[in-house]
Structure 1
Amino acid sequence: MSTAHWSTQDTPIGPFTAVVAADGAVLGSGWTADPGELVDGISPALRPTELVRRRDLGPVSRSVRRYHRGELDAIDLIPVRQRSGEFLQHAWDVLRTIPAGKPQTYSDFAALAGRPSAIRGAALACARNAAALFVPCHRVYRIGGALGGFRWGLDVKRWLLDHEAAVG
């Protein structure tokens, strides 16, 4: 049995919840007040069997508050743990290198991940990302400027991109 902790906090764009392993690594996160929505997206190999609510998750909660106040790099050093195939693992690592305020197209992201023809694979990495914000899949959009998809809604994605452009 594995236990993880979760906490929800208010942000300018709604409630944000994070599910964190005992060692502090983010397993799942997003703009919801329901930790169950996050658990479903966590890899079965990492999915906790028990969730314990905490008022605050220490560094994780502080980084979320700081990010939403304009300290865009506050999320960068928070550990994240996700599991999948080799390409998705690598693509999630690459997503963490895309600077705030400098979004990329899916084509650019695929090239950054070393597989320029894997545009659908790049989009899949964004869609399967369980650790929103900490693995900033919101920084990837379609050619021509269309937002593409975002699990937490296009209004949230637009707010994040505008926030990063204004602060960065």
Structure 2
Amino acid sequence: MHFVFMGVSGSGKSTAALGAVKRLGLPFAEADAFHPEANIAKMAAGTPLDDADRRPWLESLAEWIGERERAGESSVMACSALKRSYRDILRGGAPGVFFIHLHGSTDLIAERLRARSDHFMPSSLLNSQASTLEPLGPDEEGVVLDIAHTPDELVEESARAITSALGRSGR
């Protein structure tokens, strides 16, 4: 199975995913590292990406998932995966993609983004991301976790969700 920590920038995707990876020993990909320079420059300038910008990026992420699948490995990825259509592209990489949606108030996320200085994504794009976000549909495999919990609690909850999903899949 393949686990994608999803949500808007500043929701704690990388922190929770890396914590779960440390506990479970699964391969990890940070989706931001797959962005072409043009996408990073666009976001750093405060311009939201459009679907045409995102498509090749999402396809490269789906390929990474597919490579893990072909190697017989489960995996973890931190990726915004804001729209259902984006998640569909990721699911194209392999069967068994499970989403862990880190969700919370935009006020809390905005506060976190303002405190962060080591990322290309400006807090001015939060509203754009929040308006783009499509929650998981009832037919999408995944869970929603509240980011009001501490990072340690989110790691614990996500590790539990991953372990449970792996147990159900027989992997």
Q: What range is the shorter-chain TM-score in? A: under 0.3
Give the TM-score normalised by the residue count of structure 2. 0.27
| Higher normalized contact order (CA 8 Å, seq sep 6+, divided by chain length) | 2
Give the TM-score normalised by the residue count of structure 1. 0.27
